[in-house]
Structure 1
Amino acid sequence: MPAFAFSLRRLYSSIPSLWVGALAALAAALIGSGWQIASRHGVTTTLGPVELAVLRYAVPALVLTPLWLRRSAWPVGLSRLRCALLVLCGGLPFGLVVLAGAQWAPAAHMGIFVAGSLPVFTALGGWMVSRERPAPSRLLGLALIVAGMVVFGAAGWRAVEGAWRGDLLFLLAALLWSVYTLAFRGSGLTPWQGAAVVNLGSALLLLPVLLVAGAPRLLSAPWADVAWQALGQGVAAGLLGLVVYSVAIARLGAARAALSAALVPLLTAAGGAWLLGEPVSGALVVAVLLVVPGLALGSGALAQLPRRQSANGTGRESA
Structure 2
Amino acid sequence: MNRNLALGLLAALAAALIGSGWQIASRHGVTTTLGPVELAALRYAVPALVLLPLLIQTGLFPQGLPRRRLGLLVLGGGLPFGLLVMAGMQWAPAAHMGVFGAGSVPLFTALGARLVQGEPISGLRLAGLLLVVAGLAVFGASSLADAAQTWRGDLLFILAAMVWAMYTLTFRGSGLTPWQGAAVINAWSSLLLLPMLLALGAPRLLTAPWTDVAWQALGQGVAAGLLGLVTYMIAIAKLGAARASLSAALVPLSTALGAAWLLGEPLGAGTLVASGLVACGVALASGALGRHG
Q: TM-score range by the shorter chain?
A: over 0.9
Alpha-carbon distance change, 137 to 206 in structure 1, aligned in 2, over 3 angstroms: same
Q: TM-score, structure 2 length as denominator? A: 0.96
Deviation, 1:71, is 3.1
Most deviating of 84-93 and 166-175: 84-93
Deviation, 1:126, is 2.6
What pairs up with 1:199-238 in 2 under 5 angstroms? 199-238=186-225
The residue aligned with 1:165 is: 152
Q: Is the 8 A contact 1:116 1:295 kept in 2?
A: yes
Q: Is the 8 A contact 1:47 1:221 kept in 2?
A: yes
The residue aligned with 1:302 is: 289
Q: Is the 8 A contact 2:106 2:246 kept in 1?
A: no
Q: Is the 8 A contact 1:35 1:237 kept in 2?
A: yes
Q: TM-score, structure 1 length as denominator? A: 0.88
In the TM superposition, what whole-angstrom CA distance separates every residue of 1:94-114 from its partner, at most 9, and x where no partner exists? 000000001111111000011
Deviation, 1:74, is 8.3
**What residue identity is the alignment partner of 1:238?**
G
Structure 2 Cα separation of the partners of residues 160 and 73 of structure 1: 42
**What residue identity is the alignment partner of 1:179?**
M
The residue aligned with 2:120 is: 133
What pairs up with 1:87-106 in 2 under 5 angstroms? 87-106=74-93
* Residue 60 (structure 1) aligned with residue 47 (structure 2): yes
Structure 2 Cα separation of the partners of residues 68 and 272 of structure 1: 35
* Residue 33 (structure 1) aligned with residue 32 (structure 2): no
The residue aligned with 1:192 is: 179
Structure 2 gap segments, 5+ residues each:
none
Indicate the SS of the match to 1:277.
coil
Most deviating of 127-136 and 295-304: 127-136
Structure 2 Cα separation of the partners of residues 191 and 26 of structure 1: 16
* Residue 109 (structure 1) aligned with residue 101 (structure 2): no
Structure 2 Cα separation of the partners of residues 294 and 132 of structure 1: 18
The residue aligned with 2:29 is: 42
The percent of aligned pairs where both chains have the same amino acid is: 69
Most deviating of 167-176 and 131-140: 131-140
Deviation, 1:132, is 3.6
* Residue 69 (structure 1) aligned with residue 59 (structure 2): no
Structure 1 Cα separation of the partners of residues 251 and 29 of structure 2: 19
Q: Is the 8 A contact 2:253 2:276 kept in 1?
A: no
Q: Is the 8 A contact 1:74 1:189 kept in 2?
A: no
The residue aligned with 1:282 is: 269
Deviation, 1:81, is 1.4
* Residue 154 (structure 1) aligned with residue 141 (structure 2): yes
Structure 2 Cα separation of the partners of residues 145 and 60 of structure 1: 33
Indicate the SS of the match to 1:18.
helix
Structure 2 Cα separation of the partners of residues 128 and 249 of structure 1: 19
Structure 1 gap segments, 5+ residues each:
1-14, 309-319
**What residue identity is the alignment partner of 1:82?**
R
Most deviating of 149-158 and 94-103: 149-158
Alpha-carbon distance change, 22 to 129 in structure 1, aligned in 2, over 3 angstroms: closer
Deviation, 1:52, is 0.1
Structure 1 Cα separation of the partners of residues 69 and 84 of structure 2: 21
Q: Is the 8 A contact 1:105 1:160 kept in 2?
A: no
Structure 1 Cα separation of the partners of residues 58 and 261 of structure 2: 45
Structure 2 Cα separation of the partners of residues 69 and 40 of structure 1: 34
**What residue identity is the alignment partner of 1:271?**
G
Deviation, 1:267, is 0.7
Indicate the SS of the match to 2:63.
coil
In the TM superposition, what whole-angstrom CA distance separates every residue of 1:105-131 from its partner, at most 9, and x where no partner exists? 111100001111111112222333344
Q: Is the 8 A contact 1:24 1:248 kept in 2?
A: yes
Structure 1 Cα separation of the partners of residues 83 and 216 of structure 2: 15
Deviation, 1:31, is 0.3
Moved over 4 A (4+): 72-75
* Residue 82 (structure 1) aligned with residue 41 (structure 2): no
